[in-house]
Structure 1
Amino acid sequence: MKSNYLLALLSAFLLWLAWPPIPYTAILLLVAFVPLLIAVEQTIRGDYKNKGRKVFALAFLTGVVWNTASIYWVYNAMNAFLDAMPSLLISLIPYTLAPLLMGLAFRLYYQMRKRNSILISFMGLISFWVAYEYLHQSWELSFPWMTLGNGFANSHQLVQWYSITGVYGGTLLIWLVNIALFLFIWQKRNKIEAYSNKILMGAVAGLILIPSIASLIWYSQYEEHVNPSEIVTVQPNIDPFGKWGPITPEDQLNVLTNLSQKVAKLNTEFFIWPETAISDRNGINEEEFREYPQYQKVLQFLEPYHNGNVLSGIESYVLYADQRTPTAKPIGNMFYDSFNAGVLVDGSSKLQFYHKSKLVPGAELMPFGKALSLLKPFFAHFGGTTGGYGSQDKPSVFYSASGIGAAPVICYESIWGNYVAEYVKMGAQFIAVITNDGWWGDTSGKDQHLQYAKLRAIENRRWVVRSANTGISAFINQRGDIVQKSSWWVPTALSQEINLNENLTFYTRSGDLIVYICLLTGLISIGLIFVRKRN
């Protein structure tokens, strides 16, 4: 059994080595699960007790090592606020939760194998895996950072077909190739041929070459429709850990306007400022924002730019006469909701607000309410409100006076392909990602976040303008190329003429069809577990 655990560790190592931001290694995803599948098959065919538990343990081991190695920066961020032990305890949630679901997928696969053929069982495994990834982007403990299809972010030239399938197309491809290779290797090792080895290798070649060649042709021939707009993105480099220490909200606004003016042109239409760029020590009342000096400062800044708009993050709140939302908290005889929000300010008196919807579990959202209330003192140190931020259910598109639609995607939300596509369906002609990646320090977390934005550009064929407080800010074109980017921890502003796009891709229109198909086949697979095998 020890050799099986070593094979599981080998899979974990290959998955980590293939994961962004390590360059040129994404192809390893196509073989990374083969050692684990061999270990599972040897366990199923071996003379062991409690085989189901051992299969679960093998998959869990692979998952927890892969996840921990790839998102170690979660502990890095926690450790900046807490002592080592509380930091480790909280970090165990993202490190182990997804692996537990991975282990469950393999445990169900084992149950299928006892009653069904290996090919039907593999259909079940793929369905269970996709269902796990979908659950992990849908429930209150959502963390879709490690969705398999994200692994191709460093090789965006090869996945231009994400504009049809989204990242779940990548997940499906990875599993199909790994399964075909496993069957080929297993049959060679055991000198059997239940399935034609030529067909298996032909399938592997076809699954790899056809999408890759088609993607490279698509990439080389793709031309953007010319519809220019001048955009500025700003990286003020305000230390999130020392905020409101030596720098005041007024000073922060001065940094933003000064950096913007250095690269702005008279025809600049959008200035993109990062998450929580506009703020006040006590928060900003949205209904009274026009009376704040910050608002007047932004209007004054925009005066030279006839069509100028500032799209910025803002720390805001709204007062209610009663507790009309689950997250509203009492203040005197009233209630209020705090928001991690976006705002669009133009030269008129019109204001547009968007309240972040995909909240970070623990930092911005207390998952499952009372069930995890004991963790509130820990989560409070992660830059959020333990009672939970308020949010809105659907995305909003900001429209300039000239009619340009911009998607105000706040930080963590950029990981959801289906959610970003909703902005585009509502009329967004480019995607503005406003974020503050300084919590993670100079780790691979900030690089992964940048790389994933390339996939959103491909899925929707929209430019992505990324404004990150401490880095990395960037412009990404409709093919997923990073056209410009800033350095880490350097205050700067970048200017770029982008092309707006109004056309909708198949993925934007149709969403995650692969998920819905796999959920259906997953239900069928669950049913097959309980069907008695015929002699």
Structure 2
Amino acid sequence: MFLDKLLPKTVLQKLTYCVLSGLLLALAWPTYGFPLLLFLGFVPLLLVEYQLLLENKKSSVVLGYAFTTFLVWNSITTFWIYYSTAFGMVFALLVNSLLMSLVFFLFHKVHHWSHNNRIAYIFLVGCWIGFEYMHLHWEFSWPWLNLGNGFATYYQWIQWYEYTGTFGGTLWVWLVNLLIFFSLMATQPKRINILRAMAVSFVLLPIGVSYLIFPDYASAEAKEEYIETLILQPNINPYTEKYNTTDKRVGDLLLKLTEEKITSNTQLILAPETVFADGTNIDSWSFSVAKRQVEELKNKYPNTAFIGGISFYKLIKDEAKIEKQTNFARPGLWFNDYNSAIAVVPGREDDFYHKSKLVVGVENFPYQDWLKPILGNVMIDLGGTVAMKTTQPERSVFELTDQTKVAPIICYESVYGEYVGGYVNNQAQILAIITNDAWWEDTQGHQQHLSYARLRAIEHRRAVVRSANTGISAGILPNGEITQKLGYEKQGSLLVNLPLENKITFYARFGDYIARIGIFLAIFSFLLALSQKLRDKKIK
């Protein structure tokens, strides 16, 4: 009787449930939300799907209702893309909501085919995990709303991410949602109580374990090894100043900010993404204005290394050397465009790293072999430049004078856990994130981006030094705790002491293994349900 009253019967009731799911997911999200709501977020939508199953509705109907949920969630949490471009926001909201809805579309089909609810719900969890994994690897990559990211500001709860990565959080969310949903579906009091107790236990036990294993980094100086880093935040407006100033002026500003707080113990100066934005020919780096500016810093502070961002290009006149990511300039001339990090280290040759996880549209024309003949050179502008960036295959690290190894992570790359693990497995002892988060103005965009850096710290047990042009520059301990930060539209610097680590975590070693298991289970359960459908059809 209770279940009959609980299930939404009318179209209005179903839409209300879908909106409620979207609101719960949105209100759980960093950095303003309370993540306990994630454990309830899918329950109303699951009730809608079950009612539609009883009504024998087609999967296309489920697609529409699910789209309502995910459009609400996406709109509230990522509306800030609008400040970069209205079209980019609309595209991101609609496409990501549709992709999320397709998971429920497939789930409803499997639910129809299978006579075993367990198979259907195993498929749902595995398929959702597969969707998130796809979002980490395909060319339309947008993993911003992967469920495991939702606990980023409650870092005390998720210290076990060093074993599971964020997919452990995704699995956690789905298991609790399903236990609550099953408790609502149950009719026997004993079973209801067991399921409720299991749901509470599944929430509390991982949090309890997290507090038990919480590592103490209260004093970086207490560590045998630590690095003193000067983090610079020049606060150059990307719309009105960044591409209208010069590398000479930027270099003078960096020197001024450096002189404010640098000490004789400072081992690293960290400047933000594309801080030198004039566009420097990589083959002429040694003679460039940016090089001279960095050399001035190096000469004044000869024991301190410098890492910062730069816009590089490389001219190509030989058609045989054109790559997939090469841009056409004019007949007979092409160029590679790089969003790069430079390391100028005393006693060593200058080193470069080229950003390789690219922002869709702005830096990467996805599936251009298919789409370019249809769309021409149109690209989706999500803020910044619109040239195809050239990447590099390996996650190289910068080695400082004292043999300290630093991971140069550029902006969007910090959202990818297994990808950052590539630096750690190449012996990086600290994660240096350089970014420019001012495209989205003072919204949740730059705050969420900072919070995701805490996830990388926990997963790999590496301290993070983060330099934002504007946004939030910060020092983050390997347990996710922020030691110091400099807020949005603040010009200045931070002097931080952070520990160096050599431990390789379970997650860093094995990566997104939960996702690979989830994909296998999704395929297996799909085939089981399909075989049941074929048997039923044969019997008829």
- For Structure 1 versus Structure 2, the TM-score category normalised by the shorter chain is over 0.9
SS in 2 for 1:502: coil
Q: Quote the Cα distance in structure 2 between the aligned partners of 1:453 and 1:317.
A: 28
2:90 alignment partner, one of 86, 92, 100: 92
Q: Quote the Cα distance in structure 1 between the aligned partners of 2:348 and 2:280.
A: 17
Q: Quote the Cα distance in structure 2 between the aligned partners of 1:288 and 1:349.
A: 18
Specify the alignment match of 2:48 in structure 1: 39
Q: Quote the Cα distance in structure 2 between the aligned partners of 1:509 and 1:244.
A: 39
Indicate conservation of the 8 Å contact 1:397/1:428, yes or no. Answer: yes
Matches within 5 A, 1:263-282: 263-280=261-278
Could you say if the C-alpha distance between residues 411 and 525 of structure 1 is closer, same or farther in structure 2, counting changes exceeding 3 Å? same
Residue 355 of structure 1 and its aligned partner are, at CA, apart by 0.7
Indicate conservation of the 8 Å contact 1:19/1:151, yes or no. Answer: yes
Indicate conservation of the 8 Å contact 2:338/2:389, yes or no. Answer: yes
Indicate conservation of the 8 Å contact 2:474/2:482, yes or no. Answer: yes
Residue 206 of structure 1 and its aligned partner are, at CA, apart by 2.2
1:318 alignment partner, one of 297, 300, 314: 314
Let me know the Cα RMSD of the aligned residues: 2.0
Render the CA deviation track for 1:174-206: whole Å, top value 9, x for unaligned.
00000000110222xxx357x922331232122
SS in 2 for 1:268: coil
- The residue identity in structure 1 corresponding to 2:79 is Y
- The residue identity in structure 1 corresponding to 2:518 is C
Residue 400 of structure 1 and its aligned partner are, at CA, apart by 1.2
Residue 342 of structure 1 and its aligned partner are, at CA, apart by 0.6
Specify the alignment match of 1:82 in structure 2: none
Matches within 5 A, 1:174-189: 174-187=173-186
- The residue identity in structure 2 corresponding to 1:382 is G
Residue 348 of structure 1 and its aligned partner are, at CA, apart by 3.8
- The residue identity in structure 1 corresponding to 2:380 is F
Indicate conservation of the 8 Å contact 1:299/1:347, yes or no. Answer: no
Specify the alignment match of 1:6 in structure 2: 16
- The residue identity in structure 1 corresponding to 2:479 is R
Q: Quote the Cα distance in structure 2 between the aligned partners of 1:199 and 1:375.
A: 59
Residue 371 of structure 1 and its aligned partner are, at CA, apart by 4.2
Q: Quote the Cα distance in structure 2 between the aligned partners of 1:3 and 1:209.
A: 32
1:241 alignment partner, one of 234, 239, 256: 239
Matches within 5 A, 1:93-172: 93-114=91-112, 115-172=114-171
Instruction: Indicate yes or no: 2:334 matched with 1:339.
Output: no
Indicate conservation of the 8 Å contact 1:277/1:312, yes or no. Answer: yes
Could you say if the C-alpha distance between residues 404 and 184 of structure 1 is closer, same or farther in structure 2, counting changes exceeding 3 Å? same
Specify the alignment match of 1:83 in structure 2: none
Specify the alignment match of 1:204 in structure 2: 199
Matches within 5 A, 1:370-519: 370-373=369-372, 374=375, 376-377=377-378, 379=380, 382-386=383-387, 388-519=388-519
SS in 2 for 1:530: helix
Runs of at least 5 residues in structure 1 that lack an aligned partner in the other structure: 79-86
Specify the alignment match of 1:84 in structure 2: none
Residue 381 of structure 1 and its aligned partner are, at CA, apart by 7.8
Specify the alignment match of 1:298 in structure 2: 294
Indicate conservation of the 8 Å contact 1:112/1:528, yes or no. Answer: no
Instruction: Indicate yes or no: 2:69 matched with 1:62.
Output: yes
- The residue identity in structure 2 corresponding to 1:54 is V
Q: Quote the Cα distance in structure 2 between the aligned partners of 1:185 and 1:276.
A: 53
Matches within 5 A, 1:357-372: 357-372=356-371
Residue 446 of structure 1 and its aligned partner are, at CA, apart by 0.4
Residue 244 of structure 1 and its aligned partner are, at CA, apart by 5.5
Residue 482 of structure 1 and its aligned partner are, at CA, apart by 0.7
Indicate conservation of the 8 Å contact 1:4/1:43, yes or no. Answer: no
- The residue identity in structure 1 corresponding to 2:235 is N
Could you say if the C-alpha distance between residues 36 and 469 of structure 1 is closer, same or farther in structure 2, counting changes exceeding 3 Å? same
SS in 2 for 1:493: strand
- The residue identity in structure 2 corresponding to 1:113 is H
SS in 1 for 2:409: strand
SS in 1 for 2:18: helix
Instruction: Indicate yes or no: 2:28 matched with 1:18.
Output: yes
2:284 alignment partner, one of 282, 288, 297: 288
- The residue identity in structure 1 corresponding to 2:324 is P
SS in 1 for 2:308: strand
Residue 334 of structure 1 and its aligned partner are, at CA, apart by 4.4
Render the CA deviation track for 1:481-534: whole Å, top value 9, x for unaligned.
011000110111000111110111110111011011011111102212311267
Indicate conservation of the 8 Å contact 2:184/2:192, yes or no. Answer: no
Number of positions where the alignment pairs a residue of Structure 1 with one of Structure 2: 516
SS in 1 for 2:351: strand
Q: Quote the Cα distance in structure 2 between the aligned partners of 1:245 and 1:155.
A: 37
SS in 2 for 1:342: strand
Instruction: Indicate yes or no: 2:350 matched with 1:351.
Output: yes
Q: Quote the Cα distance in structure 2 between the aligned partners of 1:13 and 1:356.
A: 35
Residue 390 of structure 1 and its aligned partner are, at CA, apart by 0.8
Residue 212 of structure 1 and its aligned partner are, at CA, apart by 0.5
Indicate conservation of the 8 Å contact 1:236/1:491, yes or no. Answer: yes
Could you say if the C-alpha distance between residues 508 and 220 of structure 1 is closer, same or farther in structure 2, counting changes exceeding 3 Å? closer
Render the CA deviation track for 1:318-371: whole Å, top value 9, x for unaligned.
234343311223456443201011110123461111111011111111111154
Q: Quote the Cα distance in structure 2 between the aligned partners of 1:99 and 1:284.
A: 39
Residue 245 of structure 1 and its aligned partner are, at CA, apart by 6.6
Could you say if the C-alpha distance between residues 63 and 14 of structure 1 is closer, same or farther in structure 2, counting changes exceeding 3 Å? same
Residue 218 of structure 1 and its aligned partner are, at CA, apart by 1.6
TM-score (norm 1): 0.92
Indicate conservation of the 8 Å contact 2:25/2:37, yes or no. Answer: yes
Residue 104 of structure 1 and its aligned partner are, at CA, apart by 1.6
Runs of at least 5 residues in structure 2 that lack an aligned partner in the other structure: 1-10
Indicate conservation of the 8 Å contact 2:21/2:42, yes or no. Answer: yes
SS in 2 for 1:531: helix
Could you say if the C-alpha distance between residues 144 and 449 of structure 1 is closer, same or farther in structure 2, counting changes exceeding 3 Å? same
- The residue identity in structure 2 corresponding to 1:402 is D
SS in 2 for 1:532: helix
Could you say if the C-alpha distance between residues 159 and 529 of structure 1 is closer, same or farther in structure 2, counting changes exceeding 3 Å? same
- The residue identity in structure 2 corresponding to 1:248 is T
Could you say if the C-alpha distance between residues 361 and 168 of structure 1 is closer, same or farther in structure 2, counting changes exceeding 3 Å? same
